[in-house]
Structures are given as C-alpha cells and as structure tokens.
Structure 1
C-alpha cells in the first residue's frame, strides 16, 4: 500500500517550486518553466515516480514559471491537468491574455486544462484529501491546497517565507491587494504546521509569514506606488533571467516593446515610457535586483538560463491554435 508523503522541490529561477504528493494517486503541483521540463521530469523520477504514473498535475495559477512543464507532460505522457475554472477557460480558448504571457513577454507552450477546479473542491490522493481553496490576489484564479491531517498548506505565490507575490493591477485589477488580504485572512483560520510556497524555502512558521505578508499589503494600501515598484522589479528581473541578461543598448528597446512596462510607466508613474527606462534601470541596480557585468545587466538572484533555442521559439497563447504540436 502506498504511503502518503510530500516532497518539496525548491527550484532556481526561472522555475517555480514544485510539490510532489506521493500516494496511491501521485499529484504534481506546478511544473516549472518550459525550458526546464526535462529537468522537472528527472526530479520526479529521482524520487521514485515515473511521469506516466502521475495521476494529476495541479496548477496553483497560470504564470509561465508554474505551468511551463504542462505541455511536456501532457503531450508525452497524457497527464491530466487541473486548474481553477476561470484560468482554465482562458487556457482552453487559447485566449491571448492566457497566462498574462503576451503582456509579460514570457513564452508558454500549449496545453489544455482537463479538470476545472472551484473553491472547496477536494482532490483525493488515496490516503489523504487535498482541499482546494480559491485564494485570488496574485491572479484571479489563484488557488491554494490544504491537507488537514498533517496541517500542510501549499500557497503558490500568495505569500512566501519572507516576501509576497507581486500584484498585477493591470491584468488582475486594482483591488488585487484587497483580494490578497482577504485570501490571507481566510488561510489564517486554518491550523498550519508548515507551508510550501511557489518561491523560496519551506515555511516552518506559516502564521508569522502570513502576518508579515498582511502587514506589507497594508503598507501598500497607504502607498500604492510600492505595489508598482515591487511588480516592475519582479517582472524585469524575471525578464533578465529568461533573456540571460541584456546589454545596455538592448535594454531600452526591450523594455519599450513590453506591455507591462508601457502600462506601469504611463499609468502608475505618469511618465512617458522613454523617460521611465533609465529610472527603472537605475532602481534595479540600486535595489540589488540586478547588476552590470561587462555592459550587460544581469539578475542577481541565482538562476539557470533557458536554452537559447527554446527561447527562440517564443510561443505565446495567440500562437497555440496554429502551432504544429498543440495538444
């Protein structure tokens, strides 16, 4: 008889963390960035689960660092994928807004969502049950998962040990901070022994991290510019990771073609995008989010650069219907 266990994979960028629930029906929660898909497969094999044995993939939300391996597992092993119903509808209709991929300039290979999840749904793993909790904020369809016997929370990008998920006011709404705080309030009522987030280490004191997250959101409500600065630095640092840095001459052209950069410059900071380029570049260096190396701006967080040939495919949801290997 299979014994229930949870295996936590703390991963380098560009991939988000993963959680493998080993049980009679093994479940993989999130699948990393697309360029890491074969590495994702190897990680689960090393702990004794073959990809074809996966009962289900569950996505906490549809950003590229969490769903990038979906295509690989679905196409090669026909693994069933589950996600919140709102995000599932965007994915399955190949909506150009799916994954915020176009706006963020983050490639995602095509996949479909087979099971549409709703709040309070239950996912049976064999010996245990994971409860689905709709926890919007970081995205509108963000979910967390709770296992009541061992009091384990899987919280995606809602909060981390020492940080919070960035807030996308342009795609998820200006009330996303309030939604995040309501989601935190809901989770704070659960008995929790430990929590696993989408980035950073295991959270051994979830209530302390949750309280710190709430305090930070409260500060953001009084100084909304902080929301935009946090988002811009997170998004641009991630762009530097998947681009493996940008030379000074490329950085300006790259930023000016990005939807997120245009929106934050014009509407959050009331600047022309051309004016905001130098301001953001300077802030990336000042804050330690990036640094210059031989005229190339590099993200300071540890990462594994995607293969250039993978990035050159540059697949976005608007391409999915016409692509050769849509699943």
Structure 2
C-alpha cells in the first residue's frame, strides 16, 4: 500500500523542526525562524525538494520559530498557508497579539492564512490523509497531525523527547495546563509508532513519552511554580539566542521591558519585577540554561546565531499592513 513519504528535518534553535509530506500533494509543516530562511530553503533543495513544487504550508501553531519562513515562501512561491481557525484569523486581521510576537519580543514577518483548520478536518495528500487534531495547551490554536496508515504523529510543541512545551497561563488561559493534559490524554488513545516534535529528535516510543509528559504536568498541577520556572527559562533562553547573548548592563532594562517577564514576576512569583531579575539569573545559571562568557549571558543550548540585521528590523504585528 503506497503512502506519503515523510521527511523530518531536525533543526537547531532558533528554528523549530520542519517536516515535509511528499505525495501527490506535498506540504511543509512549520517553516522555521525568519532569519533562517536561507538554511530552510537549502535543506529542502538538498533533499531534492524544490519549494515551488510544494502545495502549501501547514503550521502547528503561530510562534516565531514555527512560522518565521511563511512570509518568504508565500511571497517567493505563492504557497498557501493552513493553520488553526483561531490563530489564522488573528494573523489575518493583524491582531496585536498575533504570534505572541510583542509579548515575547520575537520578530515575525507578516503572512496570510488561506485555510482555516478545525478539529477533525482531513488534509488529503493523495495516498495518505492527515487528520487535524486540535491539541491546545502550548497555544490555544495548537494542532497536531496524525497519519493513521503509518501511525505517525506530528505533535508540534505539545510534547518533545523527555520534555513538554512551555505553558503560559497569562496569554493562553488559566487552564492551559489542563488543556495540555487533555490533549495528551487524547493522543494517548491513538496507535502511534513514531512522533515528530517541534524540537529535538524524532520519537520512536511516543506513547512512553506521552506518559512522561503527563507525569510532568501532574507534578506541575501540584506545584504550579515549577511550570512558571520552566516557561521563564525557555522564553529567556530563546531571547539569549536571538540576541546572541546580553551584557550584564543590558539584562535588567531588557527584562523590565518585557510583558512576559512582568506577568511571571508579579502573578506567578508574587514579587516586583526588579526583584525578580536576580532570582531568574541565578536559576538560569543553576539549571545550566545559560552561562556567563566574560560579561555576556549566553544560552547554553546549541543554536545558530540569527542574522543581526534581520533581527534589527523588529518584524511585529504593529508594523504589518492591514
């Protein structure tokens, strides 16, 4: 029985992984970070995939590391984009909250969503069918894609190998933890042989990883502060990658300008933002999420430095054209 070919591109930060479905209708799922577009295009071409031969883009959710290549592919190759209804509508009306770009200080160039997906919708590629599963938690409009013939799951940032996507109750709702748990419960009922996450390696034991993810969320339910620390470290680490480090004198003014930092300091840790700077720095060093290199705080996870000129353009929804 012929099925679609699935190509998995594990990518270093700041880009998320990309997956290509090759069939009569071919799609790229998640296009990486915006400044990585040259690398993204090269990955495809080296794998024998001409971007102009793709039939479209599917996004698991609208964070910058997953949708950053959308603008280029749409402008250069006229590729249509599919995303969950809730997030697609926000992007199309240039909503200030789109992609959480302002809140997280993560640039995203403008794009337009042509296909607004809903739960249990099916995308027929020719020899396979991708089932759209609404799996909220990491974002409200997060989706996973399930291919039942090969029993393959594309899970975005719902869960990774021995990890889960960070959760933000201040932008995704107070029950984002509960939603994420319910999404994992739903996936646990499927027959899955292999899963492709948004970050890290492909998962050969997906049901085991789903169980581990549920166990972690259960611990967070008992101790929400752990969930908050996980989110803060993930967001700040990504910032350090985008800026290729921050100097000691720049850290405090930068953090105090960030919406996410204010929310977590005041509402999760019940402290004044200025008083939360040092505890966050201490935890970044203690957990080895960051290291000091002379007077700069650097992310410790491997990453490829983004183009500084591209970052300086500050692509955000308030600069998009309606």
TM tier relative to shorter chain:
over 0.9
Listed as ranges, the matches of 1:162-311 within 5 Å are: 162-311=162-311
TM-score, normalising length: structure 1: 0.97
Counterpart check, 1:79 vs 2:105? no
Instruction: Return the alpha-carbon distance in structure 2 between the equivalents of residues 34 and 211 of structure 1.
Output: 33
Structure 2: distance between partners of 1:289 and 1:61: 24
CA contact (8 A) 2:244 2:305 kept: yes
Residue in 2 aligned with 1:160? 160
- 1:35 aligned residue: 35
Alpha-carbon deviations, 1:6-50, whole Å to 9, x = none?
010000000000101111111100000000012111111111111
Q: Distance in 1 between matches of 2:274 and 2:290?
A: 20
1:216 & 1:179 partners in 2: Cα distance? 14
Shift of 1:114: 0.5
Give the TM-score normalised by structure 2.
Answer: 0.98
Look up the SS of the partner of 1:87 in the other structure: helix
- Partners of 1:3 and 1:24 within 8 A in 2: no
Following the alignment from structure 1 to structure 2, what is the Cα–Cα distance between the partners of residues 11 and 320? 27
Q: Distance in 2 between matches of 1:72 and 1:171?
A: 27
Say whether 1:121 aligns with 2:121. yes
Counterpart for residue 325 of structure 1: none
Could you give the per-residue CA deviations for residues 62-84 of structure 1, whole angstroms, max 9, x where no partner exists? 00000000000001110010000
* Deviant stretches of 4+, over 4 Å: none
Deviation per CA, 1:190-240, whole angstroms, max 9, x where unpaired?
101100000010100000000000000000001011111000000000000
Distance 1:209 1:58 in 2: 24
Pairs aligned (count): 321
Check whether the contact 1:3–1:22 (CA below 8 A) recurs between aligned residues.
Answer: no
Aligned to 2:18: 18
Q: CA deviation at 1:4?
A: 2.2
Structure 1 counterpart of 2:62: 62
Question: Which residue number corresponds to residue 112 of structure 1?
Answer: 112
> Please, what is the CA RMSD of the aligned residues?
0.9
CA separation in 2, counterparts of 1:288 and 1:253?
Answer: 23
Deviation at 1:301, TM superposition (A): 0.3
User: What runs of 5+ residues in structure 2 fail to find an aligned partner?
Assistant: none
Matched residue SS, 1:264: helix
Q: Distance in 2 between matches of 1:52 and 1:317?
A: 27
In 2, Cα distance between equivalents of 1:161 and 1:265: 29
Contact 1:167 / 1:231 at 8 angstroms: preserved in 2? yes
Q: Could you tell me how far apart the structure 1 residues matched to 2:205 and 2:78 are?
A: 37
Deviation at 1:146, TM superposition (A): 0.3
Given that 1:91 and 1:113 are in contact with CA atoms closer than 8 Å, whether structure 2 keeps it comes out as yes
Q: Quick one: distance in 2 between partners of 1:314 and 1:252?
A: 20
The answer to whether the 8 A contact 1:166-1:227 is kept is: yes
**What is the rounded CA distance, in whole Å, between the counterparts of 1:153 and 1:284 in structure 2?**
32
